[in-house]
Amino acid sequence: MLIYQSVLLTMLLLFILVNLSFLISKKSMLDKNKTSPFECGFMNFNSSRISFSIHFFMVAIIFLMFDIEIAIMLPIFISFKLMKTFQWMTSSILISSLITYGLYHEWMNGVIEWSK
């Protein structure tokens, strides 16, 4: 019974806080000029909610992936002193071939081409 009362009290408190935050918030949906984006003192020429190219987004994601892969490859050169030559060559070739395969796969699927 105590758990039921504490859950009920918590839900009531959350409901009151959410409604109170809506009442005292400073946002006003009445003023269109204050909510519109500002373009150097001019009125908007286009809608501010235009969609962007998904291809640009894909190129950015691919850049981040290869950037992380470079960060993974940097310790390979440091680990040369700590590993045996065969182990080092095997791990280096494996990581390099995985990165090369990923690049080949993206190239064959046309993700890297900017214009189609």
Answer yes or no: is pLDDT of 27 > 70. no
78/80 Cα distance (integer angstroms): 5
pTM of the model: 0.47
21/51 Cα distance (integer angstroms): 32
Q: For the segment 7-17, what is each residue's pLDDT rounded down to a tens digit?
A: 999 999 999 99
Q: For the segment 49-77, what is each residue's pLDDT rounded down to a tens digit?
A: 666 677 777 788 888 888 888 888 888 88
pLDDT at 25: 77
Domain ranges of the chain: 54-108
- Bridge partners, residue 42, by sequence: 39
| Nearest in space to 69 (alpha carbons), one of 88, 105, 94, 87 | 94
pLDDT at 67: 86
Lowest model confidence (mean pLDDT) among 13-27, 53-67, 95-109: 53-67
User: What is the average pLDDT score of the chain?
Assistant: 80
